[in-house]
Amino acid sequence: MKNKNNKRFYLISVISCLVISFSCHHNDQSKKDHLIFRYNEHSNIATLDPAFASNPQLIWPTNQIFNSLVQLDDQLAIKPDIAKSWHYNDSTLTYTFNLREDVFFHKSKVFAKIYKDSTRKATAYDFEYSFKRLLDEKVAARGRWVLNNVEQFYAKNNSTFVIQLKRPFPAFLGLLSMRFCSVVPREAIDYYGNNFRSNPIGTGPFAMKLWEENVKLVLRKNPLYFEKDEKGEQLPYLEAVAITFLPDKQSEFLQFVQGKLDFISGLDNSYKDDLITRKGKLQKKYEHQFNMLKSPYLNTEYLGFFMGSNSSEIQSKKIRQAVNYGFNRDEMITYLRNGIGIPAIHGFIPKGLPGFNKIEGFTYQPMKAKTLVNQYIKESGNKNPSIVVGTNSQYLDLCEYIQRELENIGIKVIIDVVPPSTLRQLKSSGELDVFRASWIADYPDAENYLSLFYGKNFTPNGPNYTHFKNKFYDSLYVKSLSILDIKRRKLIYQQMDSIIINEAPVVPLYYDMAVRFVNKNVSGLGINPQNFLVLKRVKKTN
C-alpha cells in the first residue's frame, strides 16, 4: 500500500510540475488550462507500441506519438507525412518514397547513451527496420497482415525507401497510413525490449511524459516536430495531452459536463437522451456549452447469414430477402439511436467511402416481405419459419426491435445473447446461423468491405464470416485488384455491391456515424470517417 501511495504522490507531483512549468509568472492552473487537452479512455490502454495499435483506444494515443510514410486528411485523401513524395512503377509494382530530412526522434536517454546528442534523424533505414520488426514472428505484431502483399522492401539510401508488391493492390497506400506502419528507432527497441510498450519513442507531435496505468497518461509537446501550419507556425499548438481512465461512461459524461474533459466521442445509452434529441440535435440546455460534430463513419452494422448452414430458412433467398424488407430502418435509427446513423438502404459499402453509391438496396416493404415468406412456406412446407440471431447485450435492443417487426411478416426470431468474446468465436467457427456484426474499415478503400464476400476468404483464414461464394463476384473482385484508376475501380465495386444485395447473405442495418461533443473553447478538432483523433492542430482558449 505504501508503494502504491508513493506512486500516486509521484504522479501528482510530476503533473503539478508540468503545469507550473508552462509559465514562470503564473501558478494558477486555471490560467494555463488552455495548454492541456484532456480526454478519457474508458476502455483503458494496453500498449503504446504502434505494432499493436489495432483498435481506437490504442490508435488515438499512438497517433500523437508516431508518424508513418503517409497520412490521411479528414476527407481520407492520402497526404505526405515523413515521405514528402513518391512514385509508382506499374511494370514492377514498385513504390519509391522520397523522405523528408528534417524529422527527428523524440529526445531520449536512449540516444544520449550512444551519441553525443539526445536525438537523431529518422531515415529510410529506420523504416526498413520498423517493417522487419512488424514481420518478426517473435514480436507477434497485430499489424503484420498489412505487409501480406509485399514482396520486398529496403532503404536505398538515407532518404529513399522502396517497397515492391507481390501482386497489384490499389489500396496499399491507404494501408501505409495505419499506425502499424509507424517508424520506430532500433536503439529504443534494443534498450527497452518488451517495455517499449510503456516507453514509446517516435517522431510525432507529442512525446510520452508519464504513464501510470489505469490512472493517467500524460504526453508533452515535441519541440522538434517537423510539421508547420499554413502560416509557418510549428505544430502542435498544445503543450500537453492528459488522458484519464474512468471505466464508467456515465462518470465520463459528468466529467465532461463539469468542464473537466474537453471532449467525448460517441453516445452511450446512459446519457444519450439527456444530450441529444430524438432527431439527433444537441439539447438546447447544452448549446451554449458544447459543439456537436458529426461525420459518416466507416462502419456498417449488419446481420450475417451463415451460408454453410443446413437450415432451410438460411438457404432460402426468399427468407433472407424477406428479413431485409421486413423492418423499418428509419424508425430504428430514430428511436433506438436518436438519429445517429444512416439507414443502410444502398448496399453494404458505407457512406463516406469511395465506392459508396446509391444503388437500390432494401427498404421497408412489409407486404413484399410477407409475400416472400408465404412463397417460402408454399415451396418448403415449413409453416413456421424461424431464425436464431446471436448478439451481445450491447445490441439487444436493436435485435428485439427486428424480432418484433419480423413476427408481423410471419418469421419467428429467437435471440441468443452471448458475451462479445463468445460471439466472435462462434461467428468465426460458423456455429451461428444468423449473427449481429459490424465491419469498421481498416483502410479507406471499399475493397476492405467487399473482401468479406470473396470466396477464398472463408473464416478462419479470412474475413468471410458468411461463407458466401459466387463465381462472378469472385472474378470481379480479382479484376478490381488490377485497376489503379479509382473511378474505374468504383464501377466494379458498385457491381459487386449489387450482387450482395441481390443474393442477400447479409442484412445491412445502418451506416454508422462518428459523433463528437466538444467544449466551446476548443478549436481545430476535426472529425473524420475513421474517427481518428488528431490533436496537432487543436487550440484552446482561456
| Other CB atoms within 10 A of residue 166 CB | 11
Q: What's the number of domains the chain is made of?
A: 2
Instruction: Note whether 195 and 73 are same-domain residues.
Output: yes
Model confidence at 17, pLDDT cuts 50, 70, 90, reads low
Among 203, 226, 259, the domain boundary falls at: 203
Model confidence at 20, pLDDT cuts 50, 70, 90, reads very low
Among 203, 232, 265, the domain boundary falls at: 203
Given this model, what pLDDT does residue 29 score? 52
Element (H, E) at 151: strand 150-157
Given this model, what pLDDT does residue 51 score? 96
Q: Would 32 be classed as within a structural domain?
A: no
Distance CA 66, CA 536 (A): 12
Query: What is the distance of C-alpha 303 from the center of its chain?
Result: 20
Given this model, what pLDDT does residue 31 score? 62
Given this model, what pLDDT does residue 24 score? 45
Backbone angles phi, psi at 209, to 5 degrees: -105, -45
Q: Would 259 be classed as within a structural domain?
A: no
Model confidence at 26, pLDDT cuts 50, 70, 90, reads very low
C-alpha cell at 188: 529504443
Residue 2 has pLDDT above 90, yes or no: no
Instruction: Indicate the pTM of the whole model.
Output: 0.85
Q: Would 350 be classed as within a structural domain?
A: yes
SS3 for 162-228, per residue? EEEECCCCCCHHHHHCCHHHCCCCHHHHHHHHHHHHHCCCCCCCEEEEEEECCCEEEEEECCCCCCE
Residue 267 has pLDDT above 90, yes or no: no
Buried b (16+ CB within 10 A) or exposed e, 322-332: bbbbbbbbeeb
pLDDT, tens digit (0-9, with 9 covering 90-100), for 388-441: 999 999 899 999 999 999 999 999 999 999 998 899 899 999 999 999 999 988
Model confidence at 279, pLDDT cuts 50, 70, 90, reads confident
Element (H, E) at 458: none
Of the candidates 269, 231, 228, the residue with the CA atom closest to the CA atom of residue 248: 269
Model confidence at 357, pLDDT cuts 50, 70, 90, reads confident
Instruction: Give the torsion through C-alpha atoms of 256, 258, 262, 267, to 10 deg.
Output: 20
Backbone angles phi, psi at 297, to 5 degrees: -115, 135
Residue 14 has pLDDT above 60, yes or no: no
pLDDT, tens digit (0-9, with 9 covering 90-100), for 149-201: 999 999 999 999 999 999 989 999 999 999 999 999 999 999 999 999 999 99
Q: Would 470 be classed as within a structural domain?
A: yes
Distance CA 242, CA 220 (A): 9
Q: Would 519 be classed as within a structural domain?
A: no
HSE value, Cβ hemisphere, 13 Å, CA-based, for 327: 26
C-alpha cell at 239: 503543450
Of the candidates 467, 392, 387, the residue with the CA atom closest to the CA atom of residue 430: 467
Maximum distance among all Cα pairs of the chain, rounded to whole angstroms: 85
Identify the CATH number of the domain in which residue 391 sits.
Answer: 3.10.105.10
Query: 317-325 and 366-380 are packed helices; what angle lies between their axes, rounded to 10 degrees?
Result: 160
Output the CA torsion sign for 60, 62, 66, 72.
Answer: negative
Instruction: Give the torsion through C-alpha atoms of 436, 442, 447, 449, to 10 deg.
Output: 10
Using alpha carbons only, give the angle 283, 288, 289 rounded to the nearest 5 degrees.
Answer: 85
Distance CA 221, CA 236 (A): 7
Distance CA 341, CA 511 (A): 6
Close Cβ partners of 194 (under 8 Å, ≥ 6 residues apart)? none
> How far is CA 260 from each of CA 16, 34, 400, rounded to the nearest angstrom?
16, 12, 37
Q: Would 233 be classed as within a structural domain?
A: no
Given this model, what pLDDT does residue 27 score? 53
Which amino acid type is present at position 442? D
- 5-14, 87-96, 198-207, 325-334 — which is least confidently predicted? 5-14
Distance CA 116, CA 400 (A): 65
Instruction: Note whether 307 and 431 are same-domain residues.
Output: yes
**End-to-end alpha carbon distance in the chain:** 39
Residue 374 has pLDDT above 90, yes or no: yes
Close Cβ partners of 473 (under 8 Å, ≥ 6 residues apart)? 453, 454, 455, 496, 499, 500
Model confidence at 461, pLDDT cuts 50, 70, 90, reads confident
Instruction: Note whether 307 and 423 are same-domain residues.
Output: yes
Given this model, what pLDDT does residue 23 score? 45
Any bridge partners for residue 240, and if so which? 36, 220
Instruction: Note whether 324 and 457 are same-domain residues.
Output: yes
Chain-wide mean pLDDT for the chain?
91
> How far is CA 296 from each of CA 78, 183, 219, 511, rounded to the nearest angstrom?
18, 30, 29, 7
Instruction: Note whether 339 and 477 are same-domain residues.
Output: yes
Model confidence at 444, pLDDT cuts 50, 70, 90, reads confident
Instruction: Note whether 345 and 448 are same-domain residues.
Output: yes
Instruction: Note whether 306 and 448 are same-domain residues.
Output: yes
Range of the domain at 149: 45-203
Instruction: Note whether 192 and 303 are same-domain residues.
Output: no
Model confidence at 442, pLDDT cuts 50, 70, 90, reads confident
Of the candidates 302, 296, 280, 398, the residue with the CA atom closest to the CA atom of residue 350: 296
Identify the CATH number of the domain in which residue 111 sits.
Answer: 3.90.76.10
pLDDT, tens digit (0-9, with 9 covering 90-100), for 235-245: 999 999 999 99
Q: Which three-class secondary structure state does DSSP give residue 64? A: helix
Given this model, what pLDDT does residue 133 score? 97
Among 203, 225, 248, the domain boundary falls at: 203
CB 155 within 8 A of CB 432: no
Given this model, what pLDDT does residue 6 score? 52
Q: Region 110-132: what's the mean pLDDT?
A: 95
Q: Would 415 be classed as within a structural domain?
A: yes
Of the candidates 30, 64, 81, the residue with the CA atom closest to the CA atom of residue 238: 64
Q: Would 232 be classed as within a structural domain?
A: no
Q: Which residue has the cell 490504442?
A: 58
